[in-house]
Structure 1
């Protein structure tokens, strides 16, 4: 059995969650394990799942309602011990400073561009594997 990684995806919009799944495919890069997705539509669900553990990376929709992914990212980085790497989906490139403020590990713009997104996610998953080795 091949190893897999778990990626939590937060967005109140099922279409955005679908964009993330489609852009990733089975795996974001040949040297990264295949991905299992865990989808959350509320901030409370994200916190609950992270408390359980076993999440390798988190993708947060910066445009989500009622709580955007950037504010949620900052909360997670403050409150979750050993918080996995976080990739923020930004509404505009000009929001990069907010992604930095939120302490996101990476950020890409919406709508999800498959090559850019897969590259960013693969990079975070590689970093996670190096840190756990």
Structure 2
């Protein structure tokens, strides 16, 4: 049985979560594990799932309501021991500095571009694999 990676996707918008799933497919690159998604629509659900453990990468929607992914990212980077890498979805390229402020490991713009998103997610999965080894 091949290993799988668990990717937590936070957005209050089911269409955004679907964009992430479709852009990723079964695996974002041939050299990384297949992906299983864990979807969360609220910040409380994100924290609950991170407390349970087993998350390899978080994808957070910076445009989510009532708490955007940037705020969630900054909070989990402060509060979660060995926080998984975070890929932040931002509304505009000009918001990249906010992604840096939130301590996201990578950022891509919305709507999700499948090639850019898959490349960023694969890079974070590779990074996670190297850190865990």
Shorter chain as normaliser: what TM range?
over 0.9
Aligned to 1:127: 127
* Cα separation, 2, equivalents of 1:126 and 1:102: 22
Query: Which residue of 2 is the match for residue 88 of structure 1?
Result: 88
Structure 1 position 5 matched with structure 2 position 5? yes
Off by >2 Å, runs of 4+ in structure 1: none
The secondary structure found in structure 1 opposite 2:75 is helix
Map Cα deviations across residues 80-129 of structure 1 (whole Å, 9 max, x no partner).
Answer: 00000000000000000000000000000000000000000000000000
What TM-score, normalized by structure 1, do the two folds share?
A: 1.00
Which ranges in structure 1 are unaligned for 5 or more consecutive residues? none
Structure 2: where are the runs of 5+ without partners? none
Aligned residues: 133
SS at match of 2:72: helix
1:45-95 CA distances to partner (integer Å, 9 max, x unpaired)? Answer: 000000000000000000000000001100000000000000000000000
Question: What root-mean-square deviation, in Å, do the aligned CA atoms of Structure 1 and Structure 2 show?
Answer: 0.2
1:37 aligned residue: 37
